[in-house]
Amino acid sequence: MRLLDRYFIKEFVPPFFFSIFALTFILLMDQLFRLVDLFVRKGLPLDIVIQVLIYHLPLIVSYTTPMAILIAIVMSFGRFSHDNEILALKAGGISFFRMLKTPAILISIIMAFLIFFNHYILPEANHRARNIMYDVARKRPAVRIQDGVFSNEFPGYTIYIGKKIEKTGAIYNVTIYDLRNNMIIIAPTGNLYSLAEEDIMQFVLYNGELHQLVDNEKYQRTKFEKQIINLPMNTEFVRKDRKARSDDELNLAGLLNNIKSVNDEIERIKKEIHATGMEAINKYITGEIEKTRVIRFQIEQKISILNSKLRNRARYLIELNKKFSLAFACLVFLIMGAPLGYLFRRGGIAGLLLGILLFSAYYILFLTGEEFADRRNFSPYWAMWLPNIILIIPGIVLLLIAEYERLPFLKKAKYEKNL
């Protein structure tokens, strides 16, 4: 059995590392073209470009590692099956489950490392990469403000953008708090432009509303078709450490602390809304106030803040579950890949293509779940774990077929029918 274990490791390791390097290089090409653009067209120093490239590597490796495991498992067991080695081992009394012992131990070690990697190395790399990109973002304003997060980049303003498209500068679900004038500007769509000559970032908003509380007594709402807001920005390239961290820049402790903090804030805001509403009702009944428009505006402000906090909590939960789910996918791919390689009886290029096809299906499910949780209030837990559940069910079925050469309960049912 020790000989068999060493033999599997010998067959697994080369395609595993080859897949990691090849897939990482392929996925890195997209980032490479962007960085070349920064170097050639914007004059970014070469050492900064290399740093950004290095800091982007951990994110790519976190995805390519499970994919490389799947490809290596399918290729290894596919070649074993093609050469009838698995049948020979079965004939010698070694079950298919026993053959998975060494792969399971090896992949469990990789999974444990990936959990640590995703929670500590990856967030720090993301943070450093984003720090650099923020410093060079003066000519690409869509990069400067992160979507789904309240930004205080501009003094006197708090800006929230639900979604942005960096290439076109299009922005959606925009909320701008003008703290100096006690004003809220809301718009479903808009665009970001950089006026480099004037050191201005320009927001062009469409079909929105402007809410303002005048002298803390009068509430004013104005609808507009087009609104232009010019905010001054610093155009000099200055390296500085940005202390604030977004969801994908937080380690495990940071995510848990932020989730607890946001939960406390949500409960506090709910209590404030309830207290404000009850106070307004009592005053209205007793005749102390005749109109509730100002109270309604205050409650709408708190509800808007509450909704943003709920979205932030969802993002933290998505990120927390994503890092565990991606690591656990290594075992899922073992359960599915080993019997699939055995039954498919193909190694080499065929196994490589099959592994890529399976991971592509997993990745599509993963991205779909993340999008549903982020935009459509779907449970972050189910969104991040459903891809694993969807794949592990047919994986267990294939595993039973590989062990018993047919499903055991079907065999039993057929036996009882013959009786």
Q: Is the pLDDT of residue 7 over 80?
A: yes
Cα-flanking dihedrals φ and ψ of residue 178, to 5°?
-90, 95
pLDDT tens column, 267-316? 998 888 888 888 777 777 776 665 667 777 778 888 888 888 888 888 89
Q: Cβ–Cβ contacts within 10 Å for residue 309, how many?
A: 19
Q: Is the pLDDT of residue 138 over 60?
A: no
Please provide the average confidence, as pLDDT, over all residues in the chain: 81
Task: Give the integer Cα–Cα distance in Å for 178 and 180.
Answer: 6
Task: Give the integer Cα–Cα distance in Å for 323 and 111.
Answer: 11
Q: Measured in Å, how far apart are the chain's first and last C-alpha atoms?
A: 40
Task: Give the integer Cα–Cα distance in Å for 382 and 387.
Answer: 9
Q: Cβ–Cβ contacts within 10 Å for residue 268, how many?
A: 12
* Rounded (to 5) percent helix, strand, coil in the chain: 70, 15, 15
Helix, coil or strand: residue 207: strand
Find out whether 246 and 146 touch, Cβ atoms under 8 Å: yes
Pairing state of beta strands 157-165 and 200-214? Answer: unpaired
Q: Is the pLDDT of residue 33 over 60?
A: yes
Confidence at residue 40, expressed as pLDDT on a 0 to 100 scale = 65
Beta strands in 144-241 (DSSP E): 157-165, 170-178, 183-195, 200-214, 218-232
Tokens read off for 269: 């805001």
Which residues lie below 8 Å from residue 378, measured CB to CB, with a gap of 6+? 369, 372
Confidence at residue 414, expressed as pLDDT on a 0 to 100 scale = 46
Helix, coil or strand: residue 148: coil
- Give the single-character DSSP code of 347: -
Question: Residues in the chain, how many?
Answer: 419
pTM: 0.69
Domain boundaries, given as residue ranges, for the chain? 2-136+321-418, 145-232, 247-314
- pLDDT tier for residue 197 given thresholds of 50, 70 and 90: low
Q: Is the pLDDT of residue 114 over 90?
A: yes
State whether the Cα torsion 71-76-78-82 is positive or negative.
positive
Lowest mean pLDDT of 206-215, 235-244, 280-289, 355-364, name the range.
235-244
Buried b (16+ CB within 10 A) or exposed e, 340-355: bbbebbbbeebbbebb
What is the CB-side half-sphere exposure of residue 331 using CA atoms within 13 A?
17
pLDDT tens column, 235-278? 444 455 556 788 888 899 999 999 999 999 999 988 888 888 88
Task: Give the integer Cα–Cα distance in Å for 25 and 46.
Answer: 19
Q: Report H helices in 221-347.
A: 252-286, 293-344
